Copies of this chain bind each other. A is one copy, B any other.
């Protein structure tokens, strides 16, 4: 028998309600690779554009901590962890620049700048933001969805490893 997760667990990986519901239906998963396989299918083939926007809206601006009243505390905690490299490599000046470019980006595209930030420094993220800002809205929408998927994959792996740490030994 595979690991059993609920809608709340999957919402911590990706803020689309449809995604979380479909993951519950598709599970339980024997391995985290199975979960990632199902997640890719659901995210790219079943979740509609409104669901993508819903998932994007669950993210804080890069460089900012999620609000304390985020609907998923684990989402908020993971988001903070993923940005730790960025935060440790930022100065007041680069953070200010990031904030300004985030505002430009949101003004042009209508959603938050999404990047799988794990291990990336603030200067790297800023450079990427400035390049992606040039894109047409529909192109950028797809890139953001791909970044969301990378974030989801990392978080699904965490979900499985956290479960392994806390699960009691179960006989088949």
Contacts and interface: CB of A to CB of B under 8 A. Distances in A.
A119 interface: no
Interface in A48-82: 48-53
Nearest to A145: B138
B136 A49 contact: no
A109 interface: yes
Chain A interface size range: 20 to 34
Work out how many copies of this chain go into the complex: 2
Interface in A97-143: 108-111, 136-138, 141-142
A108 B138 contact: no
A48 B142 contact: no
A144 to B, nearest CB: 10
A108 B51 CA distance: 11
Contact of A136 (B45, B51, B136, B137): B45
10 contacts: A44-B138, A45-B136, A46-B137, A48-B137, A49-B110, A49-B138, A52-B137, A52-B138, A138-B141, A138-B145
Interface of A: 44-53, 108-111, 136-138, 141-142, 145
